[in-house]
């Protein structure tokens, strides 16, 4: 049995953008998140991590930018994933609109919270 794919035109909308976003950000995250957990969870491990470790890691700009990109991609990917899962169980337009706004606010709040910490952090005077 053979199958053949055919192209269909999907109208541009926020939903088609979100669908593509999950794929593009997924490729980026496979690299960003993969390297992150390999270093932090496997090679370094939580027993070596404290505020001095973070200070050393965020001494230069590279890892700050890296962590910001990871935060941005992971959170937009993850919160949109939550939105897609919950949309399968909430069917009314009003319910979905409410859901979208709640998740958008949570997404924005946590992204700002993390971003401020990444770029405003200065090592404690010790």
Partner 1 sequence: MSFKTAREGYVRYQGLGNWAFVLHRLAGLGVILFLIIHVADTALVYFKPEWYAHAVELYRLPIFGLGEILLMLALIYHGLNGLRIIYFDMINPDMWTIEVNRKSVIWTWAAALILWLPAAWIMATHILSHMGS
Q: Which residues bind partner 1 (CB under 8 A)?
A: 1, 3-5, 23, 26-27, 29-30, 33-34, 37-38, 41-42, 45-47, 49-51, 54-55, 71, 74-75, 78-79, 81-82, 85, 88-91, 110, 113-114, 116-117, 120-121, 124
Work out how close the CB of 110 gets to partner 1 at its nearest, in angstroms, rounded to a whole number: 6
Cβ contacts of residue 32 below 8 Å, gap of 6+? Answer: 66, 69, 70, 73, 74
Work out how close the CB of 79 gets to partner 1 at its nearest, in angstroms, rounded to a whole number: 7
Cβ contacts of residue 114 below 8 Å, gap of 6+? Answer: 71, 75
Identify whether the C-beta of residue 54 lies closer than 8 Å to the C-beta of residue 121. yes
**Backbone dihedral angles phi then psi of residue 11, each to the nearest 5 degrees:** -60, 140
Q: Would you say 45 or 105 has its CB closer to partner 1?
A: 45
Q: Report the distance separating Cα 80 and Cα 75, nearest Å.
A: 8
Work out how close the CB of 36 gets to partner 1 at its nearest, in angstroms, rounded to a whole number: 10
Work out how close the CB of 14 gets to partner 1 at its nearest, in angstroms, rounded to a whole number: 18
């Amino acid at each position: 049995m053979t199958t053949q794919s055919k192209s269909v035109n999907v109208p541009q909308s926020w939903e088609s953008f979100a669908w593509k976003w999950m794929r593009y950000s997924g490729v980026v995250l496979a690299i960003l998140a993969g390297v992150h957990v390999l270093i932090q969870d496997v090679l370094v491990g939580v027993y070596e991590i404290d505020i001095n470790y973070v200070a050393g890691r965020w001494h230069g700009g590279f890892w700050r930018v890296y962590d910001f990109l990871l935060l941005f991609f992971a959170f937009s990917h993850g919160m949109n994933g939550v939105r897609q899962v919950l949309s399968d169980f909430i069917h009314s337009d009003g319910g979905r609109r409410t859901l979208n706004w709640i998740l958008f606010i949570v997404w924005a709040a946590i992204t700002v919270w993390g971003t401020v910490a990444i770029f405003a952090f200065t090592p404690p005077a010790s």
